[in-house]
Amino acid sequence: MSAPDAGLSRRGALKLLSANIALVAAGCGKPPEEIVPYVRMPERLIPGIPLEFASSLALGGYGRGVLCTSVEGRPIKVSGNPSHPMSLGATDVFAEAAVFSLYDPDRSQAVRKGGEIVGWTALQAAVMPHFATWAASKGAGLRVLTGPLTSPTALRQIGELRQRYPAMRWHMSEALGDAAGRAGAMLAFGRPVTPLPRWAEVDVLACFDADPLGPGPAQLRNARGIADRRRVRAGTASMLRVYAGESVPTLSGANADHRFTWPLGGVENALIGLARALGADLADPNLAPEVAHAVAAVAADLQAHPGRALVLAGPHLRPELHGLAHWINGRLGAPLDLFAPSVPADASSLDDLARDLAAGAVDTLLVVGCNPAYEAPAPLRLGDGIAKAKLSIHLGQMFDETAAACQWHVPESHPLESWSDLRGLDGTASIVQPLIRRLYGTRTLHAMLAALGGAFDADDYALVRETWKAQATDFEPWWRAALEAGTVPGSTAATLDLAPPAPPKVSPAAEPRGLTLCLAPDPSLWDGSFANNAWLQECPKPLTKEVWGNALGLGAQDAATLGVVDGDLVALSVEGRTIEAPARIASGHAPGMLSLTYGYGRSRAGTIGSGVGAKAFGLVGREGQSVLVVAAAKAGGRAPIHSTQEQFRLEGEDRDLYPVLALGDMTAKPLDSHDGPVPTMLPPHDYTKAAARWAMVIDTGACIGCNACVLACQVENNSPIVGPEEIDRHRDMHWLRIDRYDHDAGGGFQPVPCMQCETAPCEPVCPVAASVHDSEGLNVQVYNRCIGTRFCEANCPYKVRRFNFFGYATDQAYGDLDQPVMQARYNPNVTVRGRGVMEKCTYCVQRISGARRAAEKENRPLGDNDVVTACQSACPAQAISFGNLEAPGSTVAALRREPHHYALLDHLDTKPRTTYLARIRNPNPDLEKGSG
Amino acid sequence: MSAVPHPAPGDAGLLPRDFSYGEVTRAVSDPVLVKRRWRNWWIALAVTMPFVLATLVGLVVVLGVGVGTWGINSTIVWGIAIANYVWWIGIGNAGTLISSLLAITRQDWRASINRFAEAMTLFAVSIAGLFPIIHLGRPQYFYWLAPYPNTMTLWPQWRSALVWDFWAILSYLIFSLLFWYLGLIPDAATLRDRATTRGKQLVFGVLALGWRGSARHWALHETLHITMAALAVPLVCSVHSIVGLDFAASLMPGWQETIFPPYFVVGAMYSGFAMVVMLAIFIRWGLGLERFVTLRHFDAMGLIMLMCSLVMGLSYATEWFMAWYGGDHAARGLIAHEFAGFYGPLYWLLLLFNVVLPQVLWWPPARRNLWVLAGVSVGINIGMWFERILIIWNTLSHTYLPSMRHVFVMSAIDWIFILGPLGLFAFLFLLFSRFLPVASMYEVRELGHREGAR
């Protein structure tokens, strides 16, 4: 028997082995490293002093101006840019969470071909041969697929590519696009428009399925505008009145004065009824008497406020209804600005691309800024189609579903590490500037587009500057000013002056044949592009407080019909496409109406986001519609619903926890019912020597429940992520939570940070004096001293303390096990807490300390507004006020004298420093009885 | 148990008429000194071993992985550890009470049972002492509750009931050890004198501290014993009062009640006596001590349990009344939650075990029927454990703000520490019954003397 011919003798193997050992011993030591201090300090960089840079972050393609805080070269916090009209100084959850995405260890780090890591030059070599083909065919077969694009530089580059290759086609994937709204605008004006209300002029707002306060690029602007018009102080006589007619719960409905729960067809018919009341010649939708009554009252109210009333139609309504809303607004003289959309309308659709792919007409496909393999309607079979392209290249921050479908994958730079530009909804442009050198060998959209034009080593900085070169003759100062301000001066689009539209022909809504499912962007994950962001996964959805998943919302009646209870899996199917989602019974669903959000069910989101929740995109048909008539059935089996709050309804005297007053009788009943001090044996705390007495007042009437404060707090204070299993054990670690309540007088949101009680129940019970009071009234927690008895939390009536049951900061899989790159996200001014330690809201004591140092350096007393807490800075509705009660003209002191001011659990005599303003409703007297 | 024939008790005395000094000495010391078959003992020991191992594994897990392995959460931050602590301290109370309170009030019947009741105290308090430490987030720093000199000049925060508790447990543990050992000295001398092997002579000789039985020894011993007994009574009351203050010195409805200290002391006595009854039934059966631990003893303990059940019933009623009378919304809501909330069934069981079932003890034959007594005692121990855990679960889960109302999710560690320490306790007790005299020979002899023994 002969040995198999291995091509290697025993002797040879031994030789190789010894050579190997010699090599290992000689050559593989640690590479020499040396550290060097700054010999010359970079300009402006002072260790310990954070720098802020203006930039812009995209949501649905539209920019929201932000200011990024960078500490010694590491971006650690995003806050709003006050001079940007789409931010107004506030942030939403997506902007706050951008830092996590930057340091996400799952980010793609190398160019890959079919999954194998290769170099950028390999891609270059693969693309090169095609240039000749394109030159010959004028680019026929060359396709670029993007998400919604507003970047002037990218649009310029695409324009140049089109000039060079006239037959090239540009497609846009708009998974969350407002197709109905655009079609409605086409009906009304013959052109697409972006409507933006002039909130300062609005007295009455009627939303028909519309959710101006919901997540989206306009949320910050709308929240601020609506809050400004609903802010009530002593003596305020009028405020914005909001009606919401909707079929599934939305944030706008939760914040409305009157919310009508109608099926989707009922909402459409009510809008038709309203138009008829305003004089439109339309077929009678035969409204039920109570609906007719409501519509009549709304119509009367709208008509009573000519030029100051506004009607908004929502994304689930038919295009004709959008056209009708435009007509009504024209009729009312509504304060509504119409802009030309910042996203150009000349891109081809995804549908066309799918057809061409199937026909084999696509030679080269570049996919950037979107994830069609996940979000495109299933009947388009885009995943299969991409495989037919001769050359397919994907540019993305993650190796996602589309990356897997394409031959080539190029890692994309994060917006915080790239040069670019973005336009807001109103056209305002901002320059996106990098705060950190690229962490990996990543490329930007601009570099990829330039590569298609043959320039493989294009410089993004030069490309972006090239776009704006023509703006000023003396470019450098202009450029510098634009970067500093965060907006490009004069870039806001002019409002369109369009003729009032004619009333469109609208037929009453047909009775649906089954259950109607309304799909909407997820308030935490948006379209799914944030799925691997654990901060967002663990951000409780405003209305349901659900985390780590998307349950199917439905009313109790439909749940009974289907025979399901919370957590039972329901199979939803449309034309043979089926998904399963756990049911969750929630109030606010009209009979026959179901709700589900996009963004979940990712298969290649990363270690955190893959396999979480139900894939709503899997149901969507070829037209990409967000309303589906579905067949629903109990699927058998259960899926856990992770939620941070279980009881929403307030009964009996619990209602005092969340008072809701009508504008008229705001002063009727004093809310601070506390009569005199409660007897105590403990000596009173002496605050007379304190330089400041910090206090916070939260206006529950302004709060829209958007969670920006929750995320801002988490980012600022290095709060850990705990994961779904720990959420199920009720161990969430948010220092600031937003409680949602409803009761007969109304409902709303109550952000609950630490109350910083003057007579704090947590302090006397701590055996080791880890919970102590400081001279300025802060109830501070000394982490190093804490031994974890948890008596403080047991004795806290507000339950605002949070305990590290495990080493969440370092050992939590959902926190990426605190991998080295993730550690860069930490705010260096806040201690990272270890296992077994209690923690809590500190009123951002690190910011107070910073402000105090600044004041001392300038030898002045601390002013009222010197300190802005993270939650306060994030709030788009400016519901949170923070300041020094001792300062002259103190804002918080004035708010504490308001008639609708109250302290939570006042009767316990905890003397909280965090107090509230009651929610004020502005009901229509005609509807006060029997409104939905 | 009841199948074992009981000698008829004397008409007046607790001990049989034909009682002799030698008999008690033999009966108690033989198990320690004379070789005999210990098959049942080994079986019992084997039964306890899985529990002991489970407890050890539980300790390693809790200390190694963290307190997150308990089922506690942000709302119910205390759980099984604290309930067990209160319950085990309560078990411990009865031993000291039997020895001291009954000594002072000259209740002679205690003589036969005080030794193992004191041992029970010692083991129970030791087990109880584990819980506050393993419930800490950072157990390695538990000593920060002690005022030791340190470079940061930090002291404990004296207003916290947990600091008082630290001292209460520590003094109680030290005291019960000393008290138990004091009673053991004359018996250790007896064992030393009767021991047949050199090893046992040495061990018991050291334990006897040179006891010779002189009149002066006896006089000093008696004085010290009665003095310590006098000290023990307030200590026993203080330890469980302070445990009660752990809850009462707070702001939570259902905890912030002035009745808690006395109510906790009676509750402790209650569960402690129930445990003593259980142990007495097992020991007199296992070691054949029917002639010294007689039905009169059980009768007396039954009466005490009956009294306790009445006091407990009254305490519960006081809680309900005060919640109604005080008119506080939170307190009333809590009472409604206790009866009808998530843990309602457990609360009804608690009332059944602690208040309703013990009423059978009004009937004298029931107090002398060991089966009935065993049933009632087990019920009381379960009921009292429910009471401890429900004080925590109900108050914390029904917190002021409805948004934070959650229920407790039991974890494996919770179950381990509910069941494991019971086995550990039995294990320690078995060791005790094998290697030390389970009854106080000299006190039984003294009792016999008074009842006219030869």
Q: How far is A920 from chain B (nearest CA, A)?
A: 21
Sequence-distant (6+) residues with CB within 8 A of A579 are: A571, A572, A573, A601, A614, A615, A616, A618, A619
Helical residues (DSSP H) of A614-761, grouped into ranges: 708-716, 724-728
Residue A311, CB-side half-sphere exposure with 13 Å CA sphere: 32
pLDDT of the residue at A672: 64
DSSP B354: I
- Mean pLDDT for A453-468 is 91
Q: How far is CA A150 from CA A176, A427, A541, B272, in A?
A: 15, 9, 28, 77
**Which chain B residue is nearest to residue A765, measuring alpha carbons?**
B160
Q: What is the mean pLDDT of residues B155-161?
A: 91
- How far is it, in rounded angstroms, from Cα A416 to Cα A436? 7
Q: What percent of chain A has pLDDT over 70?
A: 96
Flag if A764 and B396 touch (Cβ within 8 Å).
no
Contact B65 A806 (CB under 8 A): yes
CA distance B389 to chain A (A): 14
Instruction: Give the per-residue pLDDT at A254.
Output: 94
> Based on C-alpha coordinates, what's the Rg of chain B?
23
Q: Do A730 and B406 touch (CB under 8 A)?
A: yes
Tens-place pLDDT, residues A162-217: 999 999 999 999 888 888 999 999 999 999 999 999 999 999 999 999 999 999 99
pLDDT at B9 over 70: no
Can you tell me the mean pLDDT for A716-725? 94
Q: How far is A583 from A562, CA to CA, in rounded Å? A: 10
Cα dist. A103→A96, A580, A657, A825 in Å? Answer: 13, 32, 40, 7
> How far apart (Å, rounded) are the C-alpha atoms in residues A573 and A551?
16
For the segment B37-43, the average pLDDT, to the nearest whole number, is 84
Residue A73 has pLDDT above 50, yes or no: yes
**What is the reported pLDDT for B279?**
87
How sure is the predictor about A932, in pLDDT bands with cuts at 50, 70 and 90?
very low
| pLDDT 10s digits, A398-452 | 999 999 999 999 999 999 999 999 999 999 999 999 999 899 999 999 999 999 9
Q: Which among B454, B436, B428 has a CA at the least distance from the CA of B126? A: B428
CB contact under 8 A, B138 and A657: no
Partner-chain contact B162 A729, CB within 8 Å:
no
CA nearest to B155 within chain A: A768
By C-alpha distance, which of A788, A787, A756 is closest to A772? A756
**In Å, how far is A741's CA from the nearest CA of chain B?**
8
Q: Which two tokens stand for residue A916?
A: 């509230």
Q: Are the Cβ atoms of A790 and B72 closer than 8 angstroms? A: yes
Please tell me which residue of chain A has the smallest CA distance to B63.
A836
pLDDT tops 50 at residue A301: yes
Residue A24 has pLDDT above 90, yes or no: no
What are phi and psi for residue A151, nearest 5 degrees? -65, 115
Q: What is the mean pLDDT of residues B3-17?
A: 52
Find which of B404, B407, B413 to mutate to test the A interface (most A CBs within 10 Å of its CB): B404
Residues B145, A768: C-beta atoms closer than 8 Å: yes
What is the rounded distance in angstroms from the CA atom of residue A662 to the CA atom of residue A618? 44
Distance CA A728, CA A725 (A): 5
Nearest-10 crossing angle of helices B114-134, B80-104: 150
Question: Across the interface, do B403 and A737 touch by the CB < 8 Å criterion?
Answer: yes
Note the pTM of the prediction, 2 decimals: 0.91
Q: Which of the residue ranges A6-15, A239-248, A663-672 would you say has the lowest mean pLDDT?
A: A663-672
Task: Give how far Cα B132 sits from Cα of A530, A666, B128, B401, B415, Å.
Answer: 43, 50, 8, 27, 17
- Give the distance, in angstroms, between the CA of residue A775 and the centroid of all CA atoms in the same chain: 38
Q: Does A652 contact B329 at a Cβ distance shorter than 8 Å?
A: yes
Option in A769, A790, A801 nearest B154 (CB): A769
- A/B interface, count of CB pairs below 8 Å: 161
Q: Say which residues have a Cβ less than 8 Å from residue A196's Cβ, sequence separation at least 6.
A: A218, A221, A336, A337, A338, A339, A425, A426
**Among residues 634-653 of chain A, which lie with CB inside 8 Å of chain B?**
645-650, 652-653
Q: Do B402 and A731 touch (CB under 8 A)?
A: no
Residue A902, SS3 per DSSP = strand
Confidence band for B40, pLDDT divided at 50, 70 and 90: confident
Dihedral angle over CA of A281, A284, A289, A294, nearest 10: -40
Angstrom distances, CA of residue A292 to CA of A200, A289, A303, A317: 30, 5, 16, 19
> Which DSSP string do the residues of B195-213 spell out, in sequence order?
--SHHHHHHHHHHHTT---
Q: Which residue of A has its CA nearest to B402?
A: A647
Q: Is B67 within 8 Å of A805 when comparing Cβ atoms?
A: yes
Say yes or no to pLDDT of A31 above 70. Answer: no
Q: Is the model more confident about A620 or about B444?
A: A620
Mutate to test the interface with A, among B62, B401, B411 (most CBs of A within 10 A): B401
Closest CA to A627 of A185, A248, A272: A248
> Given CB atoms, is A752 within the 8 Å cutoff of chain B?
yes
Q: Residues B226-249: what's their mean pLDDT?
A: 90
Say if the Cβ atoms of A788 and B163 lie within 8 Å.
no
Q: Show the tokens assigned to B55.
A: 């407890």
Spatial contact of B230 and B100, defined as CB atoms under 8 Å apart: yes
Find the CB nearest B160 among A732, A791, A799. Answer: A791
Neighbours of A119 (CB within 10 A): 12
Chain A 45-104, CB below 8 Å of chain B: which residues? none
Is residue B236 very low, low, confident or very high in pLDDT (cuts 50, 70, 90)? confident
Using alpha carbons, list the distances in angstroms from residue A694 to A109, A702, A774, A779, A915.
46, 21, 11, 11, 12
Confidence of residue B4 (pLDDT cuts 50, 70, 90): very low
User: Residues A661-683: pLDDT tens digits?
Assistant: 998 877 666 676 656 677 777 77
φ, ψ of residue A278 to 5 degrees: the values are: -95, 5
pLDDT value for A10: 84
pLDDT for A468 beyond 90: yes
pLDDT at A566: 94
State residue B81's pLDDT score: 94
Residues 653-672 of A with CB under 8 A from B: 653-654, 657
pLDDT per residue as tens digits for the range A129-156: 998 888 899 988 899 999 999 999 999 9
Judge contact between A926 and A302, C-beta under 8 A: no
Chain B, nearest residue to A788 by Cα = B137
- Mind telling me how many Å the CA of A750 is from chain B's nearest CA? 10
> What is the C-alpha to C-alpha distance for residues A770 and A790, in angstroms, rounded to an integer?
11
Name chain A contacts of B249, Cβ cutoff 8 Å: 764-765
Residue A931 has pLDDT above 50, yes or no: no
Nearest Cα neighbor of A410 from A420, A400, A418, A419 is A400
Give which of B226, B232, B274 is closest to B380, Cα–Cα: B274
Among B68, B162, B406, whose Cβ lies nearest the Cβ of A791?
Answer: B162
Percent of chain B with pLDDT over 90: 56
- A333 CB near a chain B CB, below 8 Å? no
pLDDT average, residue stretch B82-108: 85
Residue from the list B66, B74, B138 with its beta carbon closest to the beta carbon of A799: B74
The DSSP H or E segment spanning B376 is helix B370-397
The pairs formed by A136-141 with CB atoms below 8 angstroms and a separation of 24 or more are A137/A167, A138/A165, A138/A166, A138/A167, A138/A168, A139/A164, A139/A165, A139/A166, A139/A167, A139/A168, A140/A167, A140/A168, A140/A363, A141/A167, A141/A361, A141/A362, A141/A363, A141/A364
A732: closest chain B residue by CA: B74
pLDDT of B96 higher than 80: yes
Q: Do B160 and A652 touch (CB under 8 A)?
A: no
Pairwise CB contact (< 8 Å): B145 & A767: yes
Three-state DSSP at A371 gives: coil
For B82, the closest chain A residue by CA position comes to: A789
Residue type, B364: P
The per-residue pLDDT for A147 is 93
Which of B135, B249, B403 lies at the smallest CB-CB distance from A765? B249
Would you call A785 and B75 a contact, using CB atoms and an 8 Å cutoff?
A: no
Task: Calculate mean pLDDT across residues A555-582.
Answer: 94
Closest chain A residue to B140, measured at CA: A787
Would you place residue A631 in the very low, low, confident or very high pLDDT band (cuts 50, 70, 90)? very high
- B399, A799: Cβ pair inside 8 Å? yes
Radius of gyration of chain A (CA): 29
B182, containing H or E segment: helix B161-194
Distance separating alpha carbons of residues B191 and B201, to the nearest angstrom: 8
pLDDT-derived band of residue B181, with 50, 70 and 90 as boundaries? Answer: very high
First-to-last alpha carbon distance for chain B, in angstroms, is: 30
Q: Which two tokens stand for residue A61?
A: 């393609």
Q: Is the pLDDT of residue B75 over 90?
A: yes
User: What is the C-alpha separation between A817 and B425, in angstroms, rounded?
Assistant: 40
ipTM of the complex: 0.91
- Residue of chain A minimizing CA distance to B401: A798
Tell if the CB–CB gap between B68 and A795 is shorter than 8 Å.
no
Q: What's the gap in Å between the CA of A582 and the closest CA on chain B?
A: 21
**pLDDT score of A669:** 66
- Range A230-247 average pLDDT: 92
Q: Which residues lie below 8 Å from residue A493, measured CB to CB, with a gap of 6+?
A: A339, A340, A342, A426, A427, A428
Kindly state the percentage of chain A with pLDDT values over 90.
72
Give me the mean pLDDT over the A608-613 stretch. Answer: 93
State pLDDT tens for residues A302-346.
999 999 999 999 999 999 999 999 999 999 999 999 999 999 988
Q: What is the DSSP string of A488-546?
A: -TT-SPPPP--PPPPPPP-PPPPPPSSEEEEEE-BTTTBTTTTTT-HHHHTSPPTTT-E
